[in-house]
Amino acid sequence: MLRIENIRLGHVYLCGDIDKDGSRMLRRWLRGLIRDGEVTLHMNDVRVISSEGVTTLLACSRFYKKYGAHLRVAEMRPLTKRLFRITGLLDVFGEG
């Protein structure tokens, strides 16, 4: 289960799993935050990211860019960060 907290403007704190169910919730939530211009996802408490979760993040990133906004990632666990680096996802999202 994914828990999403918007602690302050433009900063979203994720906790749990970005799996099939979490991806749906995250997509709806992030689309509602595009007005902030730049959103940073703090991912230190994300335990699992499924392939659907990665697809969701990429789709949201494209959506943001379409409207001149930007989606960033920050505070990832070492294994998640390594996955993002190896797959080139750090280049897509940048590191906040």
Range of the domain at 52: 2-88
Total number of domains constituting the chain: 1
List, for residues 45-94, the tens digit of each pLDDT value.
Answer: 999 999 999 999 999 999 999 999 999 999 999 999 998 999 899 999 98
Task: Establish if 93 belongs to a structural domain.
Answer: no
Task: Establish if 95 belongs to a structural domain.
Answer: no
Give residue 68's pLDDT: 92
Task: Establish if 96 belongs to a structural domain.
Answer: no
- Residue 15 CB contacts under 8 Å (≥ 6 apart), including other chains: 2, 3, 4, 5, 45, 46
CATH number where 37 lies: 3.30.750.24
Give residue 85's pLDDT: 92
**Would you say residue 34 has pLDDT above 80?**
no
Global pTM reads 0.88
